[in-house]
């Protein structure tokens, strides 16, 4: 049975909220430490969803058929699910900042806010009408820049945890490297295919 996109997005958002609640429970309840744990867990929850959406076309090109074809067909739903999961992450960031007074550098606030604007723009344009309205080139630029910005945020986050949490950071960075290699290899494969077809 195919799950509709709205149902998938709603389920992901609710699951993200549940993950955040689990973070509060693991961090000692409705406390500053609990809020920080909630933000960490919701970020980790959204990370694999982003990688699936970002690499969907790459895996379909390199390894056509099977689950890769299904992932490609549902790429927009997966991308919107990432936006929902990261929306849940934003809920707990705002709680940490506004309820528990978490201090964060202004550059982090501005950079994070900019990336969230990109996520919102990508989510709002994840339909065919937006492609026609923006034009394929501008639409692709938005989603390419947005995807790279999100990837950079996750990469920076896990690099920063290499010393303190290597058992978490190393596998995450390995997945990021695999995703980047897959994107590059699929791009080469597409260019070769286009050259042969010309």
- Residue extents of the structural domains in the chain: 5-191
In whole angstroms, what is the distance from residue 51 CA to residue 147 CA?
10
**Mean pLDDT for all residues in the chain:** 95
pTM, to two decimals? 0.95
Asked if residue 1 has pLDDT above 80, the reply is: no
Q: Sign of dihedral through CA atoms 156, 158, 159, 163?
A: positive
User: What integer pLDDT is reported at residue 198 of this predicted model?
Assistant: 62
User: What integer pLDDT is reported at residue 147 of this predicted model?
Assistant: 97
Task: Note whether 9 and 80 are within 8 A (CB).
Answer: yes
Mean pLDDT confidence for 41-49 = 98
Each residue's pLDDT tens digit, 150-180: 999 999 999 999 999 999 999 999 999 999 9
DSSP string, 20-83: HHHHHHHTTSSSHHHHHHHHHHHHHHHHHHHHHHHHHHHHHHHS-SHHHHHHHHTHHHHHHHHH
Each residue's pLDDT tens digit, 68-117: 899 999 999 999 999 999 999 999 999 999 999 999 988 889 999 999 99
Torsion of CA 4, 10, 16, 17, to 10 degrees: -160
Residues counted in the chain: 198
Mean pLDDT confidence for 9-21 = 98
Asked if residue 41 has pLDDT above 80, the reply is: yes
């Amino acid at each position: 049975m195919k799950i509709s996109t709205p149902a998938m997005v709603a389920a992901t958002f609710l699951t993200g909220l549940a993950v955040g609640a689990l973070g509060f429970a693991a961090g000692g309840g409705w406390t500053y430490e609990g809020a920080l744990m909630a933000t960490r867990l919701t970020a980790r929850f959204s990370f694999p969803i982003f990688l699936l959406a970002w690499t969907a076309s790459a895996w379909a090109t390199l390894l056509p058929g099977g689950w890769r074809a299904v992932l490609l067909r549902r790429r927009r739903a997966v991308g919107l699910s990432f936006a929902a999961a990261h929306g849940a992450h934003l809920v707990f960031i705002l709680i940490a900042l506004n309820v528990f007074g978490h201090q964060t550098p202004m550059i982090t606030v501005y950079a994070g806010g900019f990336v969230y604007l990109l996520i919102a723009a990508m989510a709002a344009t994840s339909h065919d009408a937006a492609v026609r309205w923006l034009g394929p080139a501008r639409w692709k630029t938005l989603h390419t820049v947005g995807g790279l910005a999100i990837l950079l945020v996750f990469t920076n986050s896990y690099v920063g945890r290499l010393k303190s949490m290597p058992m978490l950071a190393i596998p995450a960075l390995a997945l990021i490297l695999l995703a980047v290699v897959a994107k590059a290899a699929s791009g080469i494969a597409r260019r070769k295919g286009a050259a042969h077809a010309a």
